[in-house]
Structure 1
Amino acid sequence: MQAENFVAHRGWRQHYPENTLIAFEQAIQAGAVNIELDIQLSADHVPYVFHDANLMRMCQREGLIWDYLSAELDTFFASESYRLGNAFAHNPMCRLSDIVDLLQANPAVNAYVEIKEESLTQFGEQIVVDAVINALRPVASRCILISFELSALRLALHEGWQRFGAVFDVWPDPQSAALVELQPEVLFCDRNCVPIEVDLRTLPWPILIYEVGSKIEADDWFARGAVAVESFLVGELLREYNLKSA
C-alpha cells in the first residue's frame, strides 16, 4: 500500500475545520499526497473551498455563500464550532487560490476538486466551470476535476481541461456515454451504493470508495479491488499503514 491509495476528504477533517487551509496543510504534513475539496462561488464569482451553500454550519453566519461578495467572505471565520468548539475560532475561509499556492509549495500533492451542484444551479455551468479552471491553471497538471454533475465536467472537457473523475452516490452505469467521453481517471463511489457482488477489478474505470473510517474497512475495499479510499481520518489511516513518519 502507498500514500497514493488514500485521499484526504476535505483535508484532515477529523481534527481540523473541513475545507480550510489548515486542514489541508495538516493532511499533507501527515503524509497525504491526495487531497479532495469542494467548490462554491461567492456573489462575485470567486471560487471558495466550501461544501455547503449555507454558511451556518461552518461559519455561524446567516445566508448562503453567494449572498456575499468575496471581500465580505474573507472576513468570516470557518471554525466549524459546533463540532470543534472554539479551537479554531479565528480560522479564515479558504479560497481556491489558497489551494493553488499550497500545491505550488507541495509539488508531490494532487487535488481532486469537486464542483458543487448548488453553485452550478445558482450561476449556471459556464460561470462556475470557467471560474474553477481559470483559478487552477497554474497547477492544472495536478488537479482532477470531479462532480456529481457530469455535464459540467463535459463542458470543462470541451474547454480543454484534461483530468477528470466522477462522483456517485448511486451505482453508475460504467458504460454510459458521458463516462466514455470523459475518460475519467477514477470514479468516486459512496461505500453504501456498491453492489455486494461486484468485483471492482472487473470494471472499466478505477473505483475510489468514500467515506472510509477505519483500517479494517479500508482493507476490505482494497481486497475488493478499490484503487483508493477517501477518509476524514487520513492521518490515522496513513499511520496505521506505516505510511506516516510520526
Structure 2
Amino acid sequence: MSIICNVIAHRGNKSSFPENTLESFVSALDLGATAIELDVQITSDQTAVISHDVELTRCCGTQGNITQMTVEQLNTVTAYEPQRFGTQFYGIRMPTLQSVVYRLNTYKNIEVFVEIKTESIQHHGRIHAINCLHTSLKKANFNWTLISFDAAVLKEAQLRFSWKTGWVLSEDNSWDIESISYMQPQFIFASLDALKAHTDKLPFGQWDWVIYGVNNVDDLKYILARNIFSFETDRLDFMLKAISDDMALCHTSIN
C-alpha cells in the first residue's frame, strides 16, 4: 500500500507547539508530515521572519508590528503563544526564514509552502518583498513553493526568478479555468469552506489542488470525493493516525 495523500502541516505541528516555530516544524516532519506550510512577514530592516500575524499580540503576548521593528528587536520577544500554552514555551523565539532554511536543509524529500503575508507586501512593495525572500530561499536544498493571495506578487516571482507558485483563492476569486491558466501556478490553495461554497465541477489542469482546514475524517472524505488529495491540517497527529488506522482511506494498492 502507498499513501496517495499529501499531508501538509499548517504552520507546523501547531496542536503541540507554538505555530510557525522551528520546534513546530521539526515536530511535524518527525511525525510524518509530507510537507509544511509557513508564513512570512518582513521586518523594517528587510529580514524575512516566520509569523502569520504582523502584530505580536497573539503569538508573543506583547505589543509591536513586525514591519516596523528590526530583527534585533524581535529577538527580545518570545513567540510562545500564551493564549494557548500559557508559559509552557516561554523563551521560544520567532525564527528567521534563514534559520528555518538551514534547519530544514537537514531533511530529505520534503516540500515547504512559503506564504508571503499581505501586510508585508503592502508595506514593502511586491518586488522588495520577493527580493527579501530570495536572500534566504536561494540557499534551500529542499523543494519549496511561494504561495499568496496576491496574484501580482506570484506573477512577479515567476518572471524574476521562475519560482514555483501556489495561488491561494478566496471565495470571491474567479475559480474559472481561464483565470487559473493565466496564473500558471503549480498549486491552487483554497479553504474547505470556500471549496464547499463552490459546488460546480472544479477546474483541473497542470496544477494540484490543496485544501486547508481539513481537520477530521469527514473533511478528508469530502475532498477525496472531489478528487483532491493534498490538504493542510491543524491537527496533524490526529489526521496521520486516522489515515494510519483506516488503510483504505488515503491509500492505494501497488500492483
- TM-score of the superposed pair, with normalisation by structure 2: 0.88
Aligned to 1:185: 186
Within the alignment, does 1:227 sit opposite 2:214 as a pair?
no
Deviation string for 1:71-127 (max 9, x for gaps)? 111221000011111111111111101221122110221100001110000111111
Aligned to 1:96: 97
Aligned to 1:149: 150
Deviation string for 1:6-32 (max 9, x for gaps)? 110000111111111111011011101
Within the alignment, does 1:129 sit opposite 2:130 as a pair?
yes
Give distance in 2, aligned partners of 1:4 and 1:222: 9
Aligned to 1:242, what secondary structure does the other structure show? helix
Aligned to 2:215: 213
- Which residues of structure 1 form unaligned runs of 5+? none
Q: Taking structure 1 as reference, are residues 113 and 140 closer, same or farther at Cα in structure 2, changes over 3 Å only?
A: farther
Question: Map of 1:10-49 to 2, 5 A cutoff?
Answer: 10-49=11-50
Counterpart code for 1:132:
L
Give distance in 1, aligned partners of 2:93 and 2:163: 31
Aligned residues: 241
> Does the CA-based 8 Å contact 1:103-1:110 persist in structure 2?
no
> Does the CA-based 8 Å contact 1:208-1:226 persist in structure 2?
yes
Aligned to 1:65: 66
Give distance in 1, aligned partners of 2:176 and 2:116: 21
Aligned to 1:84: 85
Aligned to 2:238: 236
Aligned to 2:36, what secondary structure does the other structure show? strand
Cα RMSD (Å):
1.8
Aligned to 1:37, what secondary structure does the other structure show? strand
Deviation string for 1:14-70 (max 9, x for gaps)? 111111111101101110120000100111010001001111111112120122111
Give distance in 1, aligned partners of 2:103 and 2:5: 18
Deviation at 1:239, TM superposition (A): 1.8
Counterpart code for 2:160:
E
Counterpart code for 2:21:
T
Deviation string for 1:131-163 (max 9, x for gaps)? 112210122661100000010111111112331
> Does the CA-based 8 Å contact 1:4-1:34 persist in structure 2?
no
- TM-score of the superposed pair, with normalisation by structure 1: 0.91
- After superposing on structure 2, the runs of 4+ consecutive aligned residues of structure 1 that deviate more than 6 Å are none
